Structure 1
Amino acid sequence: CGGAFVGLDKVVEQRIGKRSMGFVQPGEGQSKEKRTADILRHLEPDDLVKFGMIPEFIGRIPVVAVVDPLDEEALMAILTEPRNALVKQYQKLLKMDNVQLDFKPDSIRAIAQEAHRRKTGARALRAIVEELMLDVMYELPSRKDVTRCSITREMVEKRSTAELLVHPSSLPKPESA
């Protein structure tokens, strides 16, 4: 329950624990997230009422779906695989300024790890990438000398700005003596 309905699993656990002893036991090496998801699979409308929702509201919800928590691999896939993936959106934005945006593979993993740590699911991905790209998006339109922007793991971990790479022909030429 990454933020939403915190404690709902306790209501369900209390009900199923009373009905059948040992019905949901934490598995060997099972994470707390996985155990919570397993418990919530047994959610019933009465559990939502005990949690504090009014019966009139519960009656208007035809289906209650419990989703598995997102792991790092799933977050990495969300970040890169869909047609409109966040990484692809930023690459397209920078391409309009003739700049190639390069996310190093380890930076993608670092973004996913940070999002997983924040426990806000895929929403954290956008926040993290926007933090990385904020200064770049502001600075790029006025910088015609930049041809490439690179995001590394270190930048994600240190929450620093993306590295802008200047085209060699834009660099000042050394004076010959």
Structure 2
Amino acid sequence: GPTGCGKTLLAQTLARFLNVPFAIADATALTEAGYVGEDVENILLKLIQAADFDVKKAETGIIYIDEVDKIARRADNPSITRDVSGEGVQQALLKILEGTVASVPPQGGRKHPHQEFLNIDTTDILFICGGAFAHLDKLIEKRIGHKGMGFAAEVKSKLEKDVGSVFAQVMPEDLLEYGLIPEFIGRLPVISAIHNLNRKDLVSILTTPKNALVKQYERFFRFDNVELVFAPESLDAIADKAIKLETGARGLRSIIEQSLINVMFELPSRNDVRKCVVTKETIEREVDPTLVTEAERILPEIDEESA
């Protein structure tokens, strides 16, 4: 699925509901054994640590390997130099994904012969591999015959295009062309696509959760005794801007922050502002929000002598 659509959050929520140990590993940090970087066994160590070093409990856990698209093979032809952070990592992951008894150094780092190892059976561990897979949609569209050029080209705006619906038609040969090796694809039998977040989804993310961004900023402004109001059309504008920037839900905070940053610096030095209104123009034209003021309250001077 595309960036900022909730792949990692889905895996975290799944683990929380099942009440099993959960670990996130970053595929970009992994290298083949013997090279600078993390060995694949370090993924298992993270899971064991999440299970408080209870190996039996860890053997029924979930491991989410993020950014797995970044370990795709660099080129089709094998070069003189080894691809230690790409195809080499895929090959190193094969045995762990299939199910094996792996030896994990309890302190992490490199293996050496004079240390004890934790033995963990990976057969019942659920491995979920996720990534944005940039430009994979182009390979799929090429295979299924979508026109990309000429008068018959299907032209869609960023607001209309849903990469997830293209990803839903992915076949193993597309992933093979992308740079994943056949053995790696074969060990991940279930492939699912997450759709782009549309305007309605993003507005819901902005307003609905307990710690929603809009609620956070409203609370933040309340510290200065200012009521922050988001006009309904401003929320749509924030969502549309995030879709155009292709940042997904992750980009919402930066869009709001960019709109309010000048006001947030100004408010502590003013005590005549009572309301701050964010409109559609605030987001689209990048103008400052509307400030509603009242006559500055004159604080009564305290007579120190009478006190």
Quick check: 2:271–2:296 contact (8 Å CA) kept in 1? no
What TM-score, normalized by structure 2, do the two folds share?
0.45
Out of 133, 138, 157, the position equivalent to 1:10 is 138
- Point out the structure with max Rg over C-alpha: 2
Aligned to 1:175: none
Quick check: 2:230–2:278 contact (8 Å CA) kept in 1? yes
Out of 291, 295, 307, the position equivalent to 1:164 is 291
What TM-score, normalized by structure 1, do the two folds share?
0.73
Cα deviation for residue 104 of structure 1 reads 0.9
Aligned to 2:164: 37
Q: What are structure 2's unaligned runs of at least 5 residues?
A: 4-131, 146-153, 299-307
The structure carrying a bigger helix percent of its residues is 1
Deviates more, 1:88-97 or 1:153-162: 153-162
Could you tell me how far apart the structure 2 residues matched to 1:80 and 1:95 are? 17
Deviates more, 1:101-110 or 1:36-45: 36-45
Residues 1:120 and 2:247 aligned together: yes
Could you tell me how far apart the structure 2 residues matched to 1:52 and 1:41 are? 18
| Amino acid across the alignment from 2:222 | K
Cα deviation for residue 116 of structure 1 reads 1.9
Out of 208, 232, 236, the position equivalent to 1:105 is 232
Aligned to 2:264: 137
Taking only the aligned residue pairs, the percentage that are identical comes to: 43
Aligned to 1:92: 219
Aligned to 2:41: none
Could you tell me how far apart the structure 2 residues matched to 1:49 and 1:16 are? 16
Could you tell me how far apart the structure 2 residues matched to 1:46 and 1:77 are? 36
Give the length in aligned residue pairs: 158
| CA RMSD between the two structures | 2.9
Name the SS for the 1:150 alignment partner: strand
Q: What are structure 1's unaligned runs of at least 5 residues?
A: 18-25, 172-177
Aligned to 1:148: 275
| Amino acid across the alignment from 2:272 | D
